[in-house]
Structure 1
């Protein structure tokens, strides 16, 4: 049972800054005073009961240009109470994982009243973010100093400040010492070893750690494909049709690795506690707008938007736009094939080393165009999805991912399908697959890590020169850190990272039987990707808020869908091979029927395998069942206790009347 907030004094003389708030330069003083008051006010008065201080010198003086920057922290007691509010799961002394409650705090492993490391820094920052985002308007009709910024009871204050441009950003601070340790064991030395996923989780949270866990798992899963692919490629260099065995292995591989990943994921997230975290009722996303109404589920006042209008926007605007983009992608693909034909004609006329190199130029140009189109379409998809005005962040993300995946799939793989099943040119298929895969990997590495790192390094040098010129040597460490971090780019989540792995999985699972080295290049790319992604997390972007998660979400479904398509594709390629065609020299109809039958059998086996292999290991299932049983027993005991107390009160009242 939760204890009353009013029973605790959460003031703490020692202030540890955890989160930075940056307001607009022209923010009015009354707005600042009102916001800081609401952050500091007690929970019973509608505040967040946190600690907030303006960024200042050690002697208490303000710093020019930083008057609108505030540091937010919380007492240890306040963080413990917040951990119960958000439902954090921690390890108990009996090695089980349970939802943390303040009343039973002493039963949890490593807990002590003076052990401020019981909660990780990322967990503390997640709690503060939760409390800030849940600051609700009470009696205010508007944001003080801004009559146009209307408020109504229950409206999130922070989200309103963001949408009105008063609050520029708020972000968690880096811990320089912990970050230095993490960098040292993570990417400062080139070595072949497992990533420090537990340390990544403690510093960046479960969502980031789970992405790096999946990246590591996928890289190791590619190794068997790479080991088989190298000799297969060497000894069958010119035999483009001899790929039946490799395609057969591909069918099994693409199914097994995804099923095994779900079990690895469940084991990891159970150890981290997020597998047990209960999903809270989702609040409206910051960009959601509509007329003021009553939510029928919560009874709270919040914006309401007609679902009919949203459906009209989706089917009358978004869907036609996506179809138009798909048509444009196919049109560009046909231009690419015209270029291929021109290059081939030029080579047949000249047959020189230069003309041989020219054969690769159309594929390279097409690969670059594909990357450009993917990025332009991404911005358009984000705009359209925001315009559709989805209430929940999960719904917004699902619609965005669907739009992006459909276009990226067609844009990246349509030419390969056309070459394989329309032109029946295995040599061109191998050449195109190799060029598209390698070019896209090089461009992604440059765009995602190298170029942003170069820009950030230049920007940091300018900040250091400016701060040294202002002779703030004694204050350089803290203020330099805050000024550098507030100017860093914002990490927008794991969307692009998973998308890159999804496309890579497509290249490997769909057509790698024709180009067996695809898995080799994928492994090499993922090794460098691990280091470049670690670099951008630690050096290029602001520290993201921790986000508890139990799995990779909708991306699991996306990868499984791709594996189903790979079954169909590989069966078709096997049916087209010279070895299989030699078995049916006369009747092509029998061959097609047999290929379709085998494909259906394999798909059935795939779904049976997915059903038979549990998503959670047996020991994890037992632990979850035991926790559920104990929770039910505790609820029963509580109900019996309440019933006994009620009966006792009724008996006492009866005796009084007698």
Structure 2
């Protein structure tokens, strides 16, 4: 357990990251087995910690909670209901930048949805059957999804600058702990590390991973067609004998399909992790990119393919609204049950059993909870698996809102309510249910930013197509459907061009932060020049520095 001695130069999360980094970079060299365990063989370049874990010699590696810090964080975070922002600086100090940026994005996304929710509610209440009036809502949707993502980049840059990670470089990222290969030397750093042929990795990706993803997509589409058969049967029953119960029956196929979608997503996620691990990526960023790509492609098809089919093949707006509402509400209920109630209930049972033992020892010994008992208590907690699933859930909710909310304007309000409960449930789980995770320094939300931007581009195309299908719009082209299609495509291209121009005009980093970064760079260069003069014109800056010198500095550096 790491305890600070009053020095605030490094946060608690940064100290733990340094310790975890040193543990992960321990690799076998000449050792053939773990001392004292002849059955646990070691191979050159293999991660020692992962080997100890796989052989059961080492059970768990996790940082302990700091009781006082956790108590203060819990009180300011979730223990009191309040209309105020989350304590992101405290979250960053305790859990690290990666976790704080997720909660910052969740908070930002929730506030950004409020205008759409306020506009969508009267549309839903007063224009229930008039879908043509949703054209205005669709246009607002197009502008909204572009602006909020660009403004988030500025907000993210401000947070990262305040936390000192905005200029964090990853040019010399260390190999991930799970990476294995023949021990050799990195030609860039000159360090000894495992080497693995890139050609072999590409063969695994294109000959195994890609066919696997395609087969899973085929299965997803096949399940979708079964759903439509069930939907047709339920509608036929209702048409033959319309009663209250047959009306309820019409919603059953959508509910079953929503549950099946969640189950398929979980199974595929597990398979995708195994497959991406088997591909043996050297860097953690590369591993995450390939895993995110696999999961997003399948989840997008699995969750939205039926809605696209209803909208553009069947062109049934009533069924589209019903399916969207059922999928959105069912998925939110399932997620809240799986992420909030179930972990809370299971952990409460485990904690009660453990606390009875601890209380008994306290009574017998008359002392405070010893460190070894705290270790046993926290070791029994659930393991936090990172922000991947949290970002994935927000990505799917973002898709439900931006793609088809013009036919179901209540979607934004439902997502706002979901996100509010998500903030408190996630905060409670982080503080009381999960073991404390090791921190992950981050300057932004990474590949998820690209995922949300790709979804916004698809939203432009989808909403333009829905606008073109509106009877009011079709009335302007009574004689030629070709002209309608051409005009729709032209407007869609114009909106995409406007979107990319807007992306270019809005800088990712606010002007005042750009000035501060430039000033820091200037002061660093001036300090470098003065230091070089003190050393008689010799270059003292190490070439392996994470911040490489500019070409001008390297040319002026003489030995």
TM-score (norm 1): 0.78
1:496 is matched with which residue?
389
Gaps of 5+ in 1: 1-16, 19-72, 77-114, 647-658
> Counterparts of 2:538 and 2:412 in 1: how far apart (Å)?
67
Which protein, 1 or 2, shows the higher relative CO under an 8 Å CA cutoff with sep ≥ 6? Answer: 2
2:100 is matched with which residue?
209
Change (3 A) 1:380 1:153: closer
- CA offset at residue 246 of structure 1? 0.4
Map 1:271-286 → 2, pairs under 5 A? 271-279=162-170, 281-286=172-177
> Counterparts of 2:447 and 2:333 in 1: how far apart (Å)?
27
1:435 is matched with which residue?
326
2:275 is matched with which residue?
384
> Counterparts of 2:113 and 2:56 in 1: how far apart (Å)?
46
1:577 is matched with which residue?
470
Contact 1:333 1:415 in 2 (8 A): yes
The number of equivalent residue pairs is: 537
Q: Tell whether 2:122 aligns with 1:231.
A: yes
Q: Deviations over 1:376-404 (max 9, x none)?
A: 10011011111111121111111111000
> Counterparts of 2:195 and 2:45 in 1: how far apart (Å)?
14
> Counterparts of 1:348 and 1:361 in 2: how far apart (Å)?
16
Map 1:181-330 → 2, pairs under 5 A? 181-279=72-170, 281-330=172-221
- CA offset at residue 626 of structure 1? 1.1
Q: Tell whether 2:239 aligns with 1:351.
A: no
What value does the CA root-mean-square deviation take over the aligned residues?
2.0
1:623 is matched with which residue?
516
Contact 1:122 1:205 in 2 (8 A): yes
Q: Where do 4+ consecutive residues of structure 1 move more than 6 Å?
A: 152-155
> Counterparts of 2:28 and 2:530 in 1: how far apart (Å)?
38
Task: State the SS of the aligned residue for 1:191.
Answer: coil
> Counterparts of 1:460 and 1:279 in 2: how far apart (Å)?
40
> Counterparts of 2:209 and 2:372 in 1: how far apart (Å)?
46
1:130 is matched with which residue?
21
Task: State the SS of the aligned residue for 1:181.
Answer: helix
2:224 is matched with which residue?
333
Contact 2:29 2:44 in 1 (8 A): yes
- Partner of residue 485 from structure 2, selected from 586, 592, 595: 592
> Counterparts of 1:629 and 1:365 in 2: how far apart (Å)?
61
Change (3 A) 1:277 1:302: closer
1:54 is matched with which residue?
none
> Counterparts of 1:186 and 1:211 in 2: how far apart (Å)?
14
- CA offset at residue 177 of structure 1? 1.6
Change (3 A) 1:645 1:463: closer
> Counterparts of 2:51 and 2:82 in 1: how far apart (Å)?
47
TM-score (norm 2): 0.92
1:522 is matched with which residue?
415
Contact 2:63 2:436 in 1 (8 A): yes
Q: Tell whether 2:456 aligns with 1:563.
A: yes
2:446 is matched with which residue?
553
Q: Which range is displaced more, 513-522 or 271-280? A: 271-280
> Counterparts of 1:433 and 1:581 in 2: how far apart (Å)?
24
> Counterparts of 1:143 and 1:640 in 2: how far apart (Å)?
51
2:339 is matched with which residue?
448
Contact 2:45 2:180 in 1 (8 A): no
> Counterparts of 1:534 and 1:330 in 2: how far apart (Å)?
36
2:10 is matched with which residue?
119
- CA offset at residue 157 of structure 1? 4.0
Contact 1:241 1:426 in 2 (8 A): no
> Counterparts of 1:564 and 1:116 in 2: how far apart (Å)?
47
Contact 1:153 1:301 in 2 (8 A): no
- CA offset at residue 210 of structure 1? 0.5
Gaps of 5+ in 2: 540-559
Q: Which range is displaced more, 317-326 or 626-635? A: 626-635
2:527 is matched with which residue?
634
2:61 is matched with which residue?
170
Change (3 A) 1:615 1:332: same
Structure showing greater radius of gyration is 1
- CA offset at residue 117 of structure 1? 4.2
Q: Which range is displaced more, 168-177 or 516-525? A: 168-177
Task: State the SS of the aligned residue for 2:430.
Answer: helix
Change (3 A) 1:154 1:403: closer
Task: State the SS of the aligned residue for 1:168.
Answer: coil
1:369 is matched with which residue?
260
- CA offset at residue 359 of structure 1? 1.0
Contact 2:25 2:177 in 1 (8 A): no
Task: State the SS of the aligned residue for 1:172.
Answer: coil
Task: State the SS of the aligned residue for 2:132.
Answer: coil
> Counterparts of 1:360 and 1:462 in 2: how far apart (Å)?
42
